[in-house]
Structure 1
Amino acid sequence: MEFGQETFCFRKTTLQYILALALLAALAITSHIAIAKLVTQQADTARVVNIAGRQRMLSQRIAMLAFDLARTREPARIAPREAALATSLSDMESAFKALTEGSALLGISAAKSPAEAFVYAQEHLGERMNAFLGAGWAYLALPPDQRPDSPALTRLVDTAQGPLLGALEAVVAQRQADSEAQVSRLTGLLKGTLAGMLVTLVAEALIIFRPLFRRLKAAQDLLLDAALTDPLTGSKNRRFFMDTGTHEVARSRRAGRPLAVAILDIDRFKKINDTWGHAVGDEAIRTLVRTTLAATRESDVLGRLGGEEFGLLLPETNAQAARMVAEKIRAQVAATLVQAPGASFAMTVSIGVTTLAVSDDSLAAALDRADRALYRAKESGRNQVVTDDPQRESHAA
């Protein structure tokens, strides 16, 4: 499969995978929302039931306090009982307001289902609560001597024991019924969402992952090649160069054949960048690669070690032959013009060359000698080849 086709297939599979993930995410979000609504519904119902129960308790407490206050004659005991009655009336008034109008503080929504709103209207809960509270405040405003026989006391006791309690219980019963219905609907939604997630996972495995694995296997070589290639120059990168060098060292040891290693570095590369800009500097690096590849064999390996520095492996090549190859590269680089916007210029390269020594236990040792030879080439005026032959004394080009 060609790279373009493979890229298309990979993108198609990726899109399918993303769509499957999006569907799973949507189903997961739906489940989360359903669970959140379920929890909120249950919590809201619990709060309403709690407040309604507290109102029932307060109505009984208010009736008891009013009745107790009617029997109290000592002035010192009247004031505390009046304060307790006023507090209970205020608490009941606040709780009923939260129940009917909602309360952000208590986490109660003002929204009501049609059935619950109907119960509120049918039971005349608002009217009965207002009548009860009005009777309580009216009773509290009476002078102490008028309270025992007050009609307000009779209304308080009768309302607390009958209609008001019945209305509150009807509201609670309807809220619980609405909550159970909502829970049933959300449970069905959760079951459907779970089934959808399972179907999506099975389809993902059959439609996406099986073809994906085949395509990934087919694309493995292309991806590996891209991972081992320098994107700027198209030459091999440092990783490939070092791995191949290690294998070549081992092969040279087994076969008893020579192996030469060279390091190439563009002279005064910083000046090129400073004078012409980084884009032209990149072109200079590409020019070096093209020139070097044209001067070497297919079996030779050129790899970018970093920046403007390159390594060159020359299998089956002794020191003398390696020097000749390096000189050829140096001369051709010097004779090749680098193209810049509206102009062109020449550049030079310094090269350090060595061969694998008997004492070398790895490629690193040979690279270190080649690097030292490169340094001497730079120190000697650049545009030179310096050989560090481990078999004899190093000499400059």
Structure 2
Amino acid sequence: MATSDGPLSEPRPSSAAPEWAFRVLLLGLAVLAVVLGQHPRRGLDFRVYLLAAERFLAGADLYPVSDGFMPFKYAPLTAPLFLPFTLLPARVAAALWNLGSVAAVGALARLVSRARPGAAERAAWPWAPALATLALLPAFHLEFFYAQVDGVMLLLLALTALGAERGHLWGPAAAFAVAVLLKPPAALLALFLLARGHWRVLGASAGVGLMLALPSAARYGLEGLLSQGQAWLETLARTTPPWALGHNPQGLPTLLLSLISPPDTVPSGSALTGAQALALILFIAVVAWSRAGPVDLLALCCLGVTLLSPLAWRANFVMAWPLLRVAAEHKSRGGLALVVLAGLTAVLTSDVLLGAEAARQVLLWRPHALVFTALMLWTAWQSRQALAPGASLPLPRGFSAPLPEAARH
């Protein structure tokens, strides 16, 4: 397909160099994940998760106001999910948790590997996974530094998509249910499941979610669980607005709020809800217009989990790895420029390079929101262009054309 944003060069014979480069990067990420997991003053977020699991085991309140600016912000049903990590030494648990992010990148690389293209089809650029990983190295460093949940979320979404495409039911349903419980915006992957005809996975995930509620209901009782749920919502309502217009949030809702509100102010609850709703509407409209294929649709949904959060910050954009890979693998000028820009944005907004105050002033312009919104729009446009007469893109390994409903039963 000839466009003004076409490939820079003709495809060359493949070699093992790109794959080895990617493996070396994954090994480096694994080492960084383990090293940062060993530091006693790192993994602050993960320690909050472990504390919530310990409180669950004791039947204590999960959301005491005394937690201050580091409360447990996930739903009460998620607290028992962290219990297995409490059986391990804290440093081992943190290292294993961080390694989940590395496993996510490896799994997604296999998931979206293109099948061998035919004579009339353009091969994907084999350096794309390595380039996407390089662009997100600062985000991965922050993710490992605080031992946050985004890399594990990426793994859960990858397992959901791959399992569903292979015709499995309960495995992808469980992964999707856990992902949504950890971060409700993960429900955006339902767009992928619906578009690909995986209705049964959606139904099964609802059943898994009900099963995951049983430990909390047994521990706190129904009334106590409802009370914990109310405390969770109050915690979100109390802690989200004061942060929403600070320098760290880089999501689309914050970008929209920044157009009408000065930085470092506290938006009203209605303004914040309105910004989130508008961001969601814009995202769904772009995805629907794109009519994206399975790889691009999965990448867009993964990005949306972070981009639509009012508290999305630099570490959370590890969720953009699939989209950066998609942008790079077409080897077009626009896509490569945006991938490089994403990497430069991460580097040029760091405290180490600019100093804390200068970095803060730059981040108030929401550069990550701007760059990743541009990447979303570019991917949607590329997907739309691929629908032109005569355009042909191969399905990746693990994906297949959706079967008719009757054939799936």
TM-score normalised according to structure 2 size: 0.20
- In terms of fraction of residues, the more strand-rich structure is 1
Does 1 or 2 have the higher relative contact order (CA < 8 Å, sep 6+)?
2
Q: Which has the larger radius of gyration?
A: 1
Scaled by the length of structure 1, what TM-score is found?
A: 0.21
